[in-house]
Structures are given as structure tokens and as C-alpha cells.
Structure 1
């Protein structure tokens, strides 16, 4: 039986005879009035090529493949293909645009068809059905592979028919590819790479890719996907695509118009509250209402900028038997507050708002505790899945694919959180996290599929999109019940999620310089996948540096990480393991504190610049955090630069991603097998396995020649004898260590989750808690030939599985000390060509197209401003609304013509959508050395009608910087500057 498809795909049609082109007035539409496709007959030989012109483009058939090419607007085209049937009646949950019946031409040249519309031309090879895409100026964009470009195989999944899909494109050798989301990799360009598109804790999947040839590709498929680039072509695969192939190509004159096309298809990103561009302070977690308030009071006492305080999990009630006990609180994420630890949440919110001028964000989870009113209401309609959430034996995931499930979930979030004063929701674990598999996409895939079916279908088809549907519920619920702007933080994302005012962060990272470096590339690829907002855990979520915040190596890294975070779309500090409120470093490490304060104050000064960029993101589909290929696509030397980026049109940012003062120690060495003996003299240590995390039931006993275990994840590897699986077990190693040389050792254990170490009966390491991979050790003086009795206890809850007995020998410790004496404090930066650049800190002007280097203190990092930029700066504030009428500084960096639009509104509501907003456009004419302020456009209640502006024409060191101070009242005005002359 053939089915109509509601996605707007190619009609499910049988073969027919060749059709002559119809007149514009009589062309049939591919869609009916409800947006569903009509099955239109195609006429011609059943074994040959047949085609038909439709109102939105054309449809054709070749062999058994039916294919459509539909125009969605200038530079936007949709391609869909199936084998005569589409196995779905569901509308798209990603694309909200409808085809626009445009003026277009179709030309039949005998061996090919050519469809020409606004901004795009598509040709069809009649022999293979392969498509080739050209820009309006005739420039080749990309093409499908000539041989078998679209490969579909009928499959049955969860009792329903579907297609397995392989789609291949032929790329040009000179192009680079970006986007697709974040995969914890240090590179950006995907040429020659393989990517598994499955959501994880630290992986963000967004199936949109952009090319330096100014085209983008959006896949409207929701299952497990893969991408690979090989000499024979660039290939996308999908495990379950019931409608067949379904992709959109966007074309433009630059990457901004390409990404703007994606936003036209999937929805614009609404404005965040203005406070969202200040600092978010978060940790895992504030234990009590009093602690949270005390933190904010201390920020204010220190005059340290702060706009949001974040309450992480378990404010609803803590664990009854400890973090590893068998009975966790059934109130999990029930949108309620623990009466003992948070006795007056509404009063807390009022103090935050009225006295401390801070907003409150609180975390919620898709797992809902069985003892909550929310669970009872969901269960009454069968809207929770059966598998238990890993972190609580009394919680299960709610069905966000159900409109009723979303309504119930939001109803309780509103009652328990928003109505008492919570300003923003943090929707954690939205991959969706089920079994605690943090990083391995194979295990996450198995966990999600184990949920079975949701309200829309089986989870094989809907593997990747839980985050999209759950943030939809939060957004639509808030838009329907209040006029305050929505801001949602999520640990996952999908195409279209930006329209729900949701931004992803990069998950539970582990602090290291390598992680910081990878965050830069990952954040840029999220942005270039069409998501305008992204953030991350500044300082790394897990911190495995010995001594935590007391370790100078981590403190240096933390300072550098904040400098990167200031130039993220959203600036957010978060993590566990260490206390990282900036004021704590005031006495602990004054230099680090000064660096943190300087970074936060710079962020506040940038507010006029940031808010102008935010408006461009909403209004134009602009991208704030920009890979260099966005602005310099034709400079091949920049294609693979993945540690430097543009932030808006003005700033070139290169975070420092290595130690300059306190080098990070390399991982300790695994204790060699030659140094280990069992109690009866065998090589190695005795290893005993137990079922349960508290050595509940003996399972098996063996000898481990080396204590370096990375247990495989089922079903990919074996399970130790006596265990039913690789979650919730414990283990013990016993024996002896023989010391090979005299000196000071650091002996310890690297593990995930809990571990303890005894040496000669003394407990020297105690890390008995759920946590990521980390090393803990103790320094001790040992002598050559000394024999130490050793015992290691370990438990594994879920997720990562690692246990390693390790040490730093005296020789390795000497090498570390020597490295400290030879560290290089210089940093080189490759400046893009075609323009000059100003060093933000010194004012030194450099010619682009070459590398420059200098030494940087802990307070500075490579930050350059493009010649011709206009940079508006505000004063140093403690919160965004502190001085609405404060004077601004307008910096002009001469060297090219430029413009910048200042944007203002009430910062809180959606009245800007009704026109209550104001813009002022500034134009710099470099040849005439004039700055023109346009007349202010628009107004809104509470608008500052007049503002003092100090305009500075920036000049290199040793030259006079002309300044003008004016009062801008909304009328057009022009400032003239004399040529820069050297100081006498």
C-alpha cells in the first residue's frame, strides 16, 4: 500500500509516461492544502527516465527510484528520493518552512534537465539521476556522485518498514567542510574524516554541514547516521530513513548566507534575555539555599560581575543512603524543593532578584522520580518508558515525543520552578541519557534503543532528536504562559533547536589543556552547524589535578579557560571536583584572581557589542562565534586552523591552550608488571571480582599481570567470569610492589568510578565516589628493593570503566622539574591576510597574512581587532541592568570602511517582536575619516533617549589617538577626524 508523506517529500508514485512541461497556470502542486504531497503520475517507459514539472520544482523517476527537487526560496532546494513508497505519515519535526512556488525554468537538453530558480541552478543527469548544484553566477557548488548517488535498501525495524540510506557526493579537492556539531576532537575540517552521528554526554549532533564553496547540506533524518569522506566521495548514511533520502541544500554568496538559509528552513533563534550575556556561576552543586545565597552575596561584596546563579541537581531531595546506595530519592526531578535544605525557594528567588540583581537557573532532567506527582500524572497516561534511569533506581524517562507528555512535564516545571521565581531551565541529560553511558556512542545508542517506542515511533528512527522535542515543550509552554524571554540550557542539540531558545553545552568534560583545545574546535563546529549559541564548562567539569584548586597548574589553566569563555556566545563557569567561584582565588592566588576579574570585566564591557551581535543572530541568521573559513574562505592556510577564530566582525581570538608558567604533568606511568608479585610469589596481583558495588557477592578470582584495566563495553567484549554485566560490580587487587630505585615517588591510582589504595596497611588514596577518570596519589620516599604490601579496592557504577595502578618515579619527577625551567611564554598567531590587525592590548598594528608572536602574561592572550572595525564598549558593571544610561565608548580601528548596528530593547520580554526596539547604525568612512551615526530607528518603553559617547580613533603606540565626546539623542550626526599624526 502506498502512503502519502507529510514531510513534503517526493510523491509516492508509480512509473508512467513522460510528461510535457505544463504552463505555469496549470502546473500541479506537489503539496495539498494541508502540506501533504500529492501522488502525481509520471508518464514514460517503466525502465527509462520520466519526469514532471510541478509548482515547486520537478519530479522524476529513474529505474525504481522516485526523486523530487523542490525550491523553498532563493538559494534553498530540497531533494527527496524513495523506491516508490514512503513509510511515514509524520510531518517534519525540524523544517518549519514551506516550499515557495517561485518563478523558475526547466530546460530539457536531451541528456539532462536544468532547473533554474532564484540563487540556484540544479541539473539532473538522465542516465544516473545524479544532481549537480550551481550558484546563480554559474559557479559549481557540489554534485551527487554520478554512479549510484542514492542507495536505498528496504528494511524492517521494530516491525515497521523503513529504508537504510547511503547518499554520496563528489567533492572538489580544494574545499573544506565544517559543522555537524561537536565530537570532542581537536580539528574542525572534516575532509578525510569519519564521524559517527550519535548523541553522547560530550557529543552534540546537528546534521548540517557547510563548505568553503558556499553551500550547506541539512539532513532531515533522525536515526543513527554516519559521515565519511574518501577519495571516491563524501557519504552520509542513515540506519532508518522511512521516507527515504531527504536533504536540503542551501546556497549563498558566503557562509553567512548559507547558514541564514538553514535558519530560514528551521526557524530563527529568538533573542535571549540581555542578562544571558553576563556571567553564569554554576557548580555541581550548591547544597542548600543558604549556601547559594551566600555565594551571590559574596560576589556582590567583592563587586565581581554576575548575572545568573545556577542550582544544579538534587535540590528536590538528596540521596537517602549516600551517592552509591541502592535507594535514591524517588523525588528525582519532580520540580519540587527539599523542605529541609531549601525551605523558602520563593523567598530565595525574591532576594536574588530584588536585592542581589541576579537571575536563577535550575536544572531538570528527563528522568522523573517514581514518587513524584509528575510521575503519577505521566504514568496515568503511559508517558514514561520502562527502563530505569541510571542514577536513580526510582526514576524513568518521560515521553517528550508526546504533546501531552510535554504539556504535563511543563505544567509541573511551571508550578514548582518558574512560578516561584526560577528564570531559566537547565535541561540536563537530553541525549537522552538512560544508562549512564557518558562518552561511548555505541552504548548510548543501545540505551536509547532500549527505550522501545515513543509517541511518534520506534527509537531506532528517533534516536537523536529527544533534545529537540523536550526543549520544544519548555519553549512553547513558556511562550503560552508569560512574556518573559525563554533561555534553556541543554546537553544535546539537533537541527532546529535554536528556534526554541535552547543552547547546548559540551557536556561533562575532563580538565586538561587538550580538552580546552578541543572545546574551541567543537564550539566552532556547533556554530557552523547553524546553532548561534553554545557554551561549555569553564575549567573542565571533572578536575583530576592533585590538590584541585590548590594546584597551580590547574589554576593557570582555569585562568586561560576563562579568557576563552569570555569569547563564547554565553559565558558560564561550571564543574565538580574543585571550588571555582572566582573570589576564592583572591587570597589563594592573587595573579589568577586578577586574571579572572579582568576577563569578567572585559565581558561586561563588551555588552553593547554582544547585544548587537545577538540581534543580528535573530534578525539576519548571523553567527557570532566564527571559524576563520567563514570570513576568509579563500585562504587555504587558514582552513585547518582550529585554535583561532573570529568573534563577530571585529575580534580575532586565540585562546592560550598550553601551560606557560606551570606545565601540566604527563600521566603517571603504569607500575610495570616486573615490580608486582602475588602473596604466593607469582608475577602480578591477585584480582577478585564481586557482584554489586560494595563487594556484595564473590564472583571470580584470577591473577592480573598488570593493573591497567579498561573493561570493554558489552556487547563488544567479554564480561569477567561470575558477573552478569559491566555495571555495578566491585573488584580487589592484593599483592606486593618491589621498588626499583631510591627516591621520591608519587604512587596512586587512576580510576573511574571509586577506588582506594593501601600501602603497607596505610590508606593513602580514598576516592570512594562516582566520578570520571582521575588520578589520585601520594608522594613518599622509598628505597631501592623495598617491598610494599598493596591492596586496591574499586567499584564500577556505570559509564566509563578504568582502573590503573600508577606512579611517577624519581626520574620522571626530575624530568618534570626540568621542563618547568624551560617553558616558553611566547605565543605565535597567524593573522589572516587581506587586512591589518591591531593588538587589542598594546595597540600595535600588524599586516595580515603572516604570523606574529610575543610573550603574554597571565592577564593577556592573543586578541586582535580587524582594521576597519567599530567596537562599542560599555562600562564595567556588576550586572547587565545596573546602569542603563551609562556612557559608552566607541572604538574605531582605522584601515577600512565598516559599519556596526547598535541594538537596544527592554532586555526581558518579547515586545521586540512587536517592533518595540531601537537600532542605530554607525558607518566609518576610512578615506574621509568620518564616523556617521544614523538616526535611531524605533523606540520602546524605558528607552534611554540620550547617551554620552566617547569616540576613540585607535592609533598604534607612539601616535596620538583623537577622541570626541558627544551626546547622542537619536538624530543623525557626523564626526570628522584629522589624520593621525605622531606625537611631538
Structure 2
């Protein structure tokens, strides 16, 4: 039962009329609808104070010196029309008391402006108690993010000589957060909502979040009032090639062709500011009021003689292209669109002056899009890289942050005027900017310190829902005192982190020493870089599934451990570690190797065991472990039993491949719901499909994997699909049946067969193309007499032994390998070729592995034997 103050007929009429207008606005902006007027049933008014119960954990509190109250959307808060939660309201002993299931609010009626004397909120959760009143300071804010990493070496600014101070976030160990929206600018109610200033009056507008340790619920509540995090198009999760370089069309084609020749996946080609003219005509038009003029709207024909042809060719390679913009200097007289803009704006051209940039002027921005940017979009520009680096606030509306506002204007213009999913790539402008997706973090210094800082910087940004930071992977510029050389090991580790970050984009300054193209590296560096990019594409459907969860819940792909383990101190004390989606924990390598190995201390949370994917080791949860990794290994920990969707090798994410791979990890039962949609459709909110996959271990050493019928629809959805179900870290099965029919074993995967991959110790079950509406049930029967624990690091041992034997031959080219060395080194192949000898083959390896150095000694010499022993054992941890 709800008890609330009755509202006036005037207020109800106002609510209904405004709702009709805002429904129309919402129809235009499907992904970020504005419904700022709350349901009257959620509102309790006491004189000049008004309280709106938005969720059990969230209450809006307003006081005004003069009625009426303000019902516009603000730049931060755009929606208050939520389902009314259960609450009670009564007045007793001169106090208004509002109770939800989780909070109790008390306000002394007719006592005026909110103060610590007349307003309080307390928690009704006995486990996480707190009390708040106006003026109380938080002690444990878990921080948010920062506008840019420009000139930061880690968290230290190399020119300002001070450490970065991250902005406060939405979460705190105090259990509560207050958003003071009292001074925020408003949106009007136009079809394209535009900024307007607040009425000049004394006004308090607070949003109180009381959540205890329910961090995920707090973030979800924020999405309800501040908007969801839009789902980027699928291609955005591929690899982006970017470099500050004056590329010509020939060079662009050469780079793209090199990606093709080296079979390296690619989705986005970024062209920095040299695509356009800047101040090259300064001598002719001496009208610039900037020390350095970065703005430009006219193609540089010395580099791109036919821009439309260049963009058309890039599109033919299934690539998206983004161009860099610096709009601050307006439109100069030498610019190609100058006359069109001047005519649209009735601007006097006789003075040969720049048409000045006016971000808050709707007519100017509409002209900029209509006369300058939309024609280039039609030519083939997929989205814009907006790089505002000038004055912080608008010159007419003094409190309007230019970065924030440009994010809004560019994103919503694309939302309103294109048929594809809007995407923007810009800097953080402040709370509410999560609605405009991708962040460009700026020009970080190339150093191990910068690499070490980025995982924490990225995951903490999820505390303000800014979960899609795009870093200059590999760093942007050398710092003071640097030897101006790119350290290949640092770049490899940065790229391995980048593959497991929200947006994977390498970039660098205009420096001839910064040649980060993979083909400029050789040997183990080349292999590790290419493998990192391939891993990104392998994980694409998992990443995309988690991105959909971000849209639905507000929980970012990369987030701190305390979201999942809020009651454990270690979750707060290991800030570099982060969850990569629901089922992976990443412990980044952020320091150079010591004697060919990287040493990492990893906290593995309790509650489940963790599979160290690239070494094939199942580790117990609830402990801190010291682990070592070679250059081609990375600390990726998968929850025991996790079901991870992946792609086979693919070169691009424009289209989904015909085959999905389902990785089922060892150690427990598990399940996943695999998400898919049209990839770049604006209708993803309602047009999508999911496929549930369940793995269970049954009595009698059986494992059951069930692929459920797909649910949902979207345009272009494939009717049928092939699957490869990969049982990671599994023994050799005795038999496998699919829907009751026995499958045959094959050395190489083929339709309707299964094989054993001895390199990864995995069972690979290849299912023929089948209707996605059909359920498929796989029963794997393991040997009931024999068993062997294959998840003790054998994958690493096989790999390390193979590398070492190859290197040994270069130390002694005439060596005749002893039989025991050869048999052990070829164990992984033997497992695939001779499935009936699985336990015998592994038993032989286990029995003889430790004796290999002695056998090598007999075949060559003591020095080689000692070296061999060190190599095969140095990573055995």
C-alpha cells in the first residue's frame, strides 16, 4: 500500500502534457530516451520540499526557495519516470518519514532548506549500516575517472609535476553516495533537446544512493535515471589501426594490404588530423587567433587526391574509417565549406574572418553537421574522432563543459540522422557522458609506469559507467630522458593488455621511431603480437555478450574485483587485477621480464577455482599465488566450469562467421547465454537473440553439454549454424554421442567428427550445420577405469619442451636426439594420433620428463644439458 501526499490537478495535467512531448522525444532518441517527469505516485511533497522515491536505494530530494519545482531533464539526469517502488510515507511529531525496503528518510516539516539539522537518511540493512545528513563527507570513495592521460607517466604528469587526482565515482565503502545536481544545466523539451540555463533561484536538488555493498545495484539504479550505456557496434570490438602520421592514400593501401598479407585481423582504420588542411594557408589568410591551428574541414589533396575514392576503397576492404576533428577554430575562409556555412548562418564574408565555433548555438551546430560533416559521412566516414583540446567551457553558457556538450551533440546527431548504430570516440566530459560510449584517453608517456597504471584507470572508470576507454596502446610519446626507442617487450605486454581491454587501438605520436606495425617486429615478438590480436578476435562473441550486459545492467566489461567480491579486503587491495566480463580475471603483466620470465603475484578469489588458461593449470580459489610467464603467455584466469563463446580464426567482425566455438572449461558445471544481433543496427534494444549453453558433469564420469534452441529474432539472423564444442583441459573421451548418435574420431576436425588436440589438451567436437531452433545434446563418456589430471601445467610443459628441443638443435646441430627426448617432445602429437594410448602416452611423459637433461647430456655435453634443464624448468611454477 502506498501512502503519499496528493498532487494538484494542475500538476497532473502538467505531467500528462509533458509526458506526451517526451514520448515523442524518446521515439527519436531510442537509446537515450528522456522521461524526466516522475510518476506522481512516487512523489511526496512537504511545502517547499519534495521527495521522489525512485528505487528502494535511491531518493531524489528537492527544496526550492520559490515554487514551482524543476521537472526538466538535466545534463546528468534524464529519466525519473520509473516503476514506483514499495514505500510508505507519514508525518509524525513534525517529521516526514519515508521508508523503502532499504532506507528511512526523515525531514522536519516546514523547516526550510536541507541541513544536517532537519534531514537524515539511514540504512535499514543491519549488515551494512550507515546514516547520512547534508554536509557529511565520504571517507571511502572508490573513485571514477579523469579527462585525459595526456603527458602522464603512469599517474604522474611530466610537466605539471603532480599526481593525477581521479574524480569521485558513484561507489564508496561508506555505503552511500550523494549526487548534487543543484547547479546542473537543463535540457529543454525540443525534438532535439538542447541545453538551457537553470532559473535563477535558490534550489537544492540531491540524489541520495544508499546501497551498502550492493555496488552492482547502485550502478544499475544510476542507469535508470542517467541513461543506459549504449551498445557499440560489433566492429568496434575488433582491432583498430591508428597512428599520428601524414598518410597518403598509397600508404593507407599499403598498410591495409600488409594486414592482409600477414593474415592479421583488422576492423577500424583511424586517420589522424593530417587528412585535412590546417594552417598551410596562413600566409594568405592571416586570421588565426590560436597559437597552433588544428582545425580543418578540407581534404588535403596532396595526400588524398580523390577522398571519395579512398574512402570507397577502405570500405571495400570491410573496414570502418574514422577521421580526427578539432573544431575549436570554427570555419576559416580557405576551407572548402566556408561559403556554404556562411550562407546558412548569414555570416558576413567580406572581413575574411573565421566563422567562430559556437557549440551551444543550435543553428551553428546544425549547419556544421548539415553542410560539412553529413556530406563526408555519406562519402564514407563511419564515425568521428572528436579531439577537443581547447578552452574548457562554452563562451556563452559559462558553466557548459565543451567536452561534455560535444559528446552529446555529436552522438545524438548520429542517433537522429543515420540508419546505423551511433558511435563517438572522444574524451571524458563528466558524469552522464557514459551515454556517449567510447573514450579517447590521450597521449600517455611510453613507459612501464603508464602500462601499470592503465588497468586500474580503466576499471575504476566503470564506477561512473565510463566503461569503454580506448587507450593509445603502446603509449603515445617518449618522456623526458628517454632513449627514443620502442622497447619490443613493453609493446608486447601492452598489446596483450590491450587485447583484454574495452577498445583495442594501438596509436603513437608522429615519430619515425614508433613503427608499431606488427610486421616491423620479428621472432617471438612478432608471434606474440599477432597472437594477442588473434586472441581478441577469438574472444569477440564473449566480449560482445558482456557488452550487451553492460547495456542491460550498467556493469562494464572491465571492472574492479570488489563488484563481485565486495566483502573481501583483497578485492580492494589488488587494484591492477580486474574482471574481464563475468568469467575471466586478468592480472596484467606490467614490469619487464627477469631472466626470460615475468613474475606476477595474483589474488584468486574464493568461491570457485580458476583455470590459468595459457598454461593449462587449475588453481584453487581463495589464495594468493606467485606465477611466472614467458613472453607468449599472459595471466588469464577463467572461472572453473565457465562456458565461453568464441570465434574460429576470423579477419573481421563486420559479419558473424558461420561457425561458433563454445569453450567449456574444467573444474565445475557451468552455463552461458550467448548474445547476438545484427551488429550495427539501431534496433538492438528489442531485436536480438540468445542461445543458452549448459555443461553438467554426471555420474559415471560423464559430461553433458546442451546447446538450447535459440530465442529471439533480428534482421539477417542465420537460420542454421555450425558449432565446435571445445572441452578445455579434458581427458581423452571413450565415446561421444550427439543427440543419441555416436560420433567418429578424426585426427583433424571435420563436420560431424571429434578429435583430441594434444597441444591444448582439449576435446574438439565438430557439429554439422544445424538449425538454430534445434536443441543439441552432447554426452561425453570418459574412461571409467583410468584417469589422469591433465590440468597441472602440462600445456606449458609441452610448449616449453618443444621450444627448448628446437633451440638445442641450434646449439648442437649434429645432435642425435635420444628416443626418450623425442617421444616426450612429441607427446602432444601422439595424443592426437593414437587416442587409444592416451593414458600410456601421458604416463610415459610423466615418468620420463625429469630424466630428459640426463639423456641430453649423454647425447651432447654437460653445458648443453645444464642449459636444457634450466630452460624446461624455469617456468614450472
Provide the TM-score with structure 1 as the length reference: 0.64
Alignment partners' CA distance in 2, 1:215 and 1:115 = 17
8 Å Cα contact 1:314/1:333 also seen in 2: no
Over 3 Å counting, the alpha-carbon distance change for 1:894 and 1:111 in structure 2 is farther
Select the residue among 446, 453, 472 that pairs with 2:396.
Answer: 453
**Is 1:338 matched up with 2:300?**
yes
Q: Does 1:593 align with 2:526?
A: yes
CA RMSD, Structure 1 to Structure 2 (Å) = 4.2
CA distance in structure 1 between the aligned counterparts of 2:612 and 2:151, rounded to whole angstroms: 26
Does the aligned pair in 2 maintain the 1:181–1:525 contact within 8 Å? no
Deviation at 1:525, TM superposition (A): 1.7
Is this contact kept in 1: 2:219–2:465, CA < 8 A? yes
Equivalent position to 1:848, from 621, 627, 632: 621
Match of 1:116 in 2: 99
Q: Please tell me whether residue 631 in structure 1 is matched to residue 591 in structure 2.
A: no
Q: Provide the residue aligned with 2:778 in structure 1.
A: 975
Name the counterpart of 2:42: 56
SS at match of 2:446: coil
Summarize the alignment of residues 170-185 of structure 1 with structure 2, pairs less than 5 Å apart.
177-181=142-146
Matched, 1:106 2:49: no
The match for 1:423 is 382
**Retained in 1: the 8 A contact 2:178–2:206?**
yes
- Which residue number in structure 2 is paired with residue 905 of structure 1? 677
Alignment of structure 1 residues 104-253 onto 2, 5 Å: 104-110=87-93, 113-117=96-100, 120-124=103-107, 128-134=117-123, 140=128, 142-145=130-133, 149=134, 167-169=135-137, 177-181=142-146, 208-212=169-173, 217-220=178-181, 244-250=203-209
How far does residue 508 in structure 1 lie from its aligned partner after superposition? 1.6
* 1:376 positional shift: 6.6
> What is residue 294 of structure 1 aligned with on the other side?
254
Give 1:648 deviation, angstroms: 0.1
Paired position in structure 2 for 1:858: 631
**Structure 1 unaligned spans of 5+:** 1-20, 37-52, 150-166, 188-192, 225-238, 385-392, 435-446, 662-821
User: Is the alpha carbon distance of 1:186 and 1:475 closer, same or farther for their aligned partners in structure 2, counting shifts above 3 Å?
Assistant: closer
1:213: how far off?
6.6
Choose which of 553, 557, 568 in structure 1 pairs with 2:501: 568
1:208-264: CA deviation from partner (whole Å, max 9, x where unpaired): 41135765544436679xxxxxxxxxxxxxx99976443323456832222122111
Partner of 2:728: 954
Shift of 1:903: 1.6
Residues 23 and 124 (structure 1), Cα distance of their counterparts in 2 relative to 1, 3 Å cut: closer
**What SS does structure 2 have at the residue aligned with 1:639?**
helix
Q: Cα distance 1:22–1:307, how it changes in 2: closer, same or farther (>3 A)?
A: closer
Q: Contact (CA 8 Å) 1:130, 1:143: kept in 2 or not?
A: no
Cα distance per residue 1:255-309 (max 9 Å; x no partner): 2222122111122233222111101111113332222222112211221111111
TM-score (norm 2): 0.71
- Call closer, same or farther: CA 1:525–1:395 in 2, change over 3 Å: farther
Asked if the contact 1:203–1:507 (Cα under 8 Å) also holds between the matched residues in 2, the reply is no
Matches within 5 A, 1:880-895: 880-881=653-654, 884-885=657-658, 887-895=659-667
Other structure's SS at 1:295 match: helix
Indicate if the aligned counterparts of 2:615 and 2:633 stay in contact, CA closer than 8 A: no
Report the 3-state secondary structure (helix = DSSP H, G, I; strand = E; otherwise coil) of the residue aligned with 1:949: strand
Tell me the SS of whatever aligns to 2:304: coil
Q: Deviations over 1:548-573 (max 9, x none)?
A: 7754xx22211111111111111111
- 8 Å CA contact 1:921–1:934 kept in 2: the answer is yes
CA distances 1:863-909 after superposition (whole Å, capped 9, x unpaired): 11112321111112221136621x22212224445432212222122
* Aligned twin of 2:579: 646
Q: Residues 275, 67 of structure 1: CA spacing in aligned structure 2 closer, same or farther, 3 A cutoff?
A: same
Residues 88 and 243, structure 1, Cα contact 8 Å, conserved in 2: no
Task: Give the superposition deviation at 1:823.
Answer: 8.8
1:966 is matched with which residue? 767
Partner of 1:838: 611
Contact 2:146 2:428 in 1 (8 A): no
Counterpart CA distance in 1 for 2:8 and 2:230 is 39
Matches of 1:541 and 1:636, distance apart in 2: 35
Encode CA deviations 1:389-441: one digit per residue, 9 max, x unaligned: xxxx9878622223323312222443442011011111111xxx32xxxxxxx
Q: Specify which of 232, 239, 247 is matched with residue 279 of structure 1.
A: 239
**d(CA) in 2 for partners of 1:471 and 1:619?**
22
Q: Which one of the candidate residues 494, 512, 519 is aligned to 2:430?
A: 494
CA distance in 2, matches of 1:527, 1:32: 37
Call closer, same or farther: CA 1:26–1:362 in 2, change over 3 Å: closer
User: Is the Cα contact below 8 Å between 1:836 and 1:846 reproduced in 2?
Assistant: yes
The DSSP-based 3-state class of the residue aligned with 2:206 is strand
Whole-angstrom CA distance in 2 between matches of 1:622 and 1:307: 25
Separation (CA, whole Å) in 2 of partners of 1:366 and 1:409? 10
Shift of 1:542: 1.2
C-alpha contact (below 8 Å) 1:176/1:639 kept by paired residues: no
Question: Could you say which residue in structure 2 is the equivalent of 1:781?
Answer: none
Q: In 1, are the aligned partners of 2:267 and 2:654 still within 8 Å (CA)?
A: no
Following the alignment from structure 1 to structure 2, what is the Cα–Cα distance between the partners of residues 139 and 111? 30
1:796-837: CA deviation from partner (whole Å, max 9, x where unpaired): xxxxxxxxxxxxxxxxxxxxxxxxxx7973222121222211
Relative to its length, the structure with more strand (as a share) is 1
Superposed CA deviations along residues 767-824 of structure 1, whole A, max 9, x for unmatched, are xxxxxxxxxxxxxxxxxxxxxxxxxxxxxxxxxxxxxxxxxxxxxxxxxxxxxxx797
Distance 1:25 1:584, change over 3 A: closer
Q: 2:332 aligns with which of 370, 375, 391?
A: 370
Q: 1:938 aligns with which of 683, 707, 712?
A: 712
Larger proportion of helix: 2
